[in-house]
Amino acid sequence: MSPKIIEPGCTLGIVGGGQLGRMIALAAAECGLKVHVYGPDADSPAFDVAASITCSAYDDAEALARFAAGVDVVTYEFENIPRETADLLARHAPLHPSAAALATTQDRLSEKDFINRLGIPTAPFRAVDTPDDFGRALDAIGRPAVLKTRRFGYDGKGQRIIRTEADADRNAIFAEFGGAALILEGFVAFEREVSVVAARAADGSFAAFDLCENEHRDHILAVTRVPAPGIAPETAREAVGIAKTIADALDYVGVLAVEMFLVREADGTERLVVNEIAPRVHNSGHWTIEGAATSQFSQHVRAVCGWPLGDPSRTGGLRVEMQNLIGGEVAAWMALLAEPGAHLHLYGKGEARPGRKMGHVTRLIA
């Protein structure tokens, strides 16, 4: 496919007004693009750095059509927008990543089916649409297992670990999810969580950032370390190969993240299991702002605008550590500003509620 080239001075539409949209907007502005942000919340962080904003719901067909018709290309900062919304946008402007890529990856069931069909391992899984399904799935997968909503989950929301028989009062647990479509996933006994953040352009060119190790606390990303320590180079190459296979199969345009588990067998062998695909810029790629020659946000803008991808190599070959500032942790902002070599990013959010991502700090380590 020959990509449409968006020229500087044109307008990039971003659906979603959170910190990811904000950082995409900042990267777009650096290259002379105008930005129009569409989001439902009046106090969206991305609104503050956009040339134009539309504050409306994700199912407001009229507002969406007006938004898309007024921009030169559309992207999105998160995968939980309805497929119908994506299709509507795509009728009025080029949409990257595509509605098809979004649909495949925003549903845990279609996502895992897709990954397995590529010959890439995931945790075992079963669709759960009824309490009976749940029972059969538990029998097949065993415990521990994780029951998840198929869509709209993030940061551990919409998940429940099933550990013991007592947990498995199937009807009650099933009812807790309020009738949402579910998936039961086997528990992977992993040593580390890693991710590949990479970009693919419409002409098929591909550029991956170095493999990241991700440390979660309370299901929320706490720290990303790059390059992922203690992992064999051939495993890191395999991880990048998996991301490329996925991006190619999706005919993907933009930045995506592939989260994986690293499993270490008794004999020391390393094995990768894909956890999920994020069809967007990703928290585990924030380190690239200072830590790579091209940031994931600039890279995403390049890809969706039909521009050549940038150099993803690490700045000066240094190790990088990115620490999220969650909730009250942001109170340390002044000390972080004073810390030599620390790069502070704050998202302009109001209240520092528990679990809320307020900012991050990146350290380059000589």
Applying CB under 8 A, the residues found at the interface with a second copy are: 5, 8-9, 22, 25-26, 29-35, 47-51, 293, 302, 307-308, 310-311, 315-316, 318, 330, 333-334, 337-338, 340-341, 344-350, 359
CB-based contact 274:229 (threshold 8 Å):
no
Cβ atoms < 10 Å from Cβ of 350: 9
Phi/psi at 71 (5° precision):
-120, 170
Minimum separation from the CB atom of position 9 to a second copy (A): 7
Residue with smaller CB distance to a second copy, 182 or 301? 301
Minimum separation from the CB atom of position 343 to a second copy (A): 8
Q: Give the span between the Cα atoms of 287 and 295, in whole angstroms.
A: 8
Residue with smaller CB distance to a second copy, 112 or 349? 349
* Count of residues making up the chain: 366
Residue with smaller CB distance to a second copy, 21 or 279? 21
Minimum separation from the CB atom of position 286 to a second copy (A): 12
Minimum separation from the CB atom of position 77 to a second copy (A): 16
| Sign of the CA dihedral with 90 first, then 94, 95, and 99 last | positive
**Distance of alpha carbon 207 from its chain centroid, rounded?**
16
* Cβ-based burial of 233 (10 A; exposed 0-12, middle 13-18, buried ≥19): exposed
**Rg of the Cα trace of the chain?**
20
Minimum separation from the CB atom of position 193 to a second copy (A): 27
Residue with smaller CB distance to a second copy, 192 or 343? 343
Helix or strand (DSSP H, E) at 76: strand 73-76
Residue with smaller CB distance to a second copy, 47 or 67? 47
SS (H, E, C) 269-328: CEEEEEEEEECCCCHHHCCHHHHECCCHHHHHHHHHCCCCCCCCCEHHHCEEEEEEEEHH
Minimum separation from the CB atom of position 347 to a second copy (A): 6
* Cβ-based burial of 131 (10 A; exposed 0-12, middle 13-18, buried ≥19): middle
Residue with smaller CB distance to a second copy, 187 or 333? 333
Residue with smaller CB distance to a second copy, 249 or 346? 346
Minimum separation from the CB atom of position 36 to a second copy (A): 10
